Structure 1
Amino acid sequence: MANVELIKQFYHAFKNKDKETYLGLCDENITWQLSEGMPNGGVYVGKDAVFKEYFPKMLSNFKEFHAIPEQFTDMKDHVMVNGMYSGISNTGKSFEVAFSHVYHIQDDKIIQFRQFTDTQKIQESLK
């Protein structure tokens, strides 16, 4: 599978809560690195740490949280995705902020994710 198609499939599966598909696209020892200041941010290693620890904790801050990919750039064994986060925090404040995600792919599996975004806008929605 082409790397860009793999990442598009990942976003689609995650949005549609197709856990079997999105987990199957990730390496067991995936590294998930978040921008400093992201709610529950840091570095998570392994599928369980990412999908059972990070995401439930981070998403618990929001009534809605969407990552909307807009542009995919193929960079050989990496794919960069530019898009927008939008959502509503539990305080009722909405936000919209640009992101860049960089995925490292090896043997048709995502082995690393790196996030770049303005976390201040997201943090302000939590207050």
Structure 2
Amino acid sequence: MGLNDTDLASSAAPRDVVRRQYLASAAGDLPALRATLAPDVEWTEMAGFPLAGTYRTPEGVTSNVMERLGADWEGWTAHDDTYVVDGEHVVVLARYTARNKATGKDLAVRVAHHFTVRGGLIVRFEQFVDTAKVRDAMA
């Protein structure tokens, strides 16, 4: 028995909050994505990734990560394949697919994302990805 859209939209369960973030990202709905993030969110893109660093505030995350990915990549999508939930911790085994606008090269790479969710909002995110594959698509 799965959640319907209304249940998913209102659920504060960590898995559901993270799923809403992926759905908003895939739809390009930045206001909905920001609504999943805590005001003091810490969003860390892995060292070696083109956008490496830690970003704070929902607006800081979307302007420094999602908007920049959209500017440099065509069809950037994070496919959330498998969820592992332990209390407030949600690990998602996922894939990125996209085409680099500058090189025309396709990207398909496996990733892991670690989210911490408290009070129905994402307070922390950490990305793990094979950054060499991302850089290869950019060269």
TM-score of the two chains, using structure 1 as the length reference: 0.92
Residue in 2 that maps onto 1:33: 44
Map 1:8-87 onto structure 2 (within 5 A).
Answer: 8-87=19-98
| RMSD, aligned CA | 1.3
Is the contact made by 1:69 and 1:81 (CA closer than 8 Å) also made in structure 2? yes
Gaps of 5+ in 1: none
Identity of matched residues, %: 21
Gaps of 5+ in 2: 1-11
Q: 1:13 to 1:70 in 2, by over 3 A?
A: same
21-30 or 74-83: bigger deviation: 21-30
Q: Specify the code of the residue in structure 1 equivalent to 2:46.
A: S
Deviations 1:46-87 (A, max 9, x none): 112111223222332212211101001111011000011111
Residue in 1 that maps onto 2:119: 107
27-36 or 45-54: bigger deviation: 45-54
TM-score of the two chains, using structure 2 as the length reference: 0.85
Question: Structure 1 CA distance, aligned partners of 2:50 and 2:36?
Answer: 24
Moved over 6 A (4+): none
Is the contact made by 1:39 and 1:58 (CA closer than 8 Å) also made in structure 2? no
Residue in 1 that maps onto 2:133: 121
Aligned partner (choices 8, 13, 18) of residue 2 of structure 1: 13
